[in-house]
Amino acid sequence: MCAAVAGEIAGKVHRKPALTLGLPTGSTPIGVYRRLVEMHRQGALDFSRITCFDLDEYFPMPPQSPHSYHAFMRRHLFDHINCQAWFVPDGAARNIEQVREDCVAYERRLEVAGGLDLLLLGIGRNGHIGFNEPGSTPASVAHLVSLDAVTRADAGEFDGLEQAMSPSRSSCCERAPTSTQKTMPGRRR
């Protein structure tokens, strides 16, 4: 499955070198990222004109934390390819009004990029897509969401955090992109 999804992404990059991608974290995409890095190292895939938007980040979580999704994306993808335009929601501790302003700015950046051409998603054990928990109804693309206990437990296992230490909220960028992007490959976690 990872090879097929990576192949689909590569095909789209070849057809549209300035593609805009929406990318997740978690266990679902790691194999896909490995394949994309391998293709890049072999000279078969150029990310230099690609723009990537990560879907979410823990809040509060500084980007330099090894548990942050900023660090996850660097570790699994961006430190190994030539993509210069990649964005992860800001998980730094700050007041809620600043978070809202940052979410609006993230949403605008996504709009300026022309929206997503391709969105890769995983589905959490409780049915969440990205960190949009079942029943959440944000009014905008980028927003702050409270994480379900199941999501926190699963994320804690994956990210090496005890549930008590796992952030209870996330800054997300998903609701409108999942309804407006052109293609959504993915699989269940």
Map out the domains of the chain as residue ranges.
2-188
Give yes or no: 154 in active site.
no
19-23, 116-120, 182-186: least confidently modelled range: 182-186
Average confidence score pLDDT of the chain? 80
Tokens 């302003």 sit on residue: 101
Give yes or no: 126 in active site.
yes
Give yes or no: 157 in active site.
no
pTM listed for this prediction:
0.80
Percentage of residues in the chain having pLDDT higher than 70: 68
Q: How confident is the model at residue 156 (pLDDT cuts 50, 70, 90)?
A: low
CATH 3.10.450.630 fits 2-188, yes or no: no
Give yes or no: 67 in active site.
no
CA–CA separation, 62 and 69 (whole Å) = 10
18-22, 67-71, 121-125: least confidently modelled range: 121-125
Out of 90, 133, 148, 154, pick the active-site residue.
133
pLDDT value at residue 167: 61
What is the sign, positive or negative, of the torsion defined by CA atoms of 87, 166, 134, 123? positive
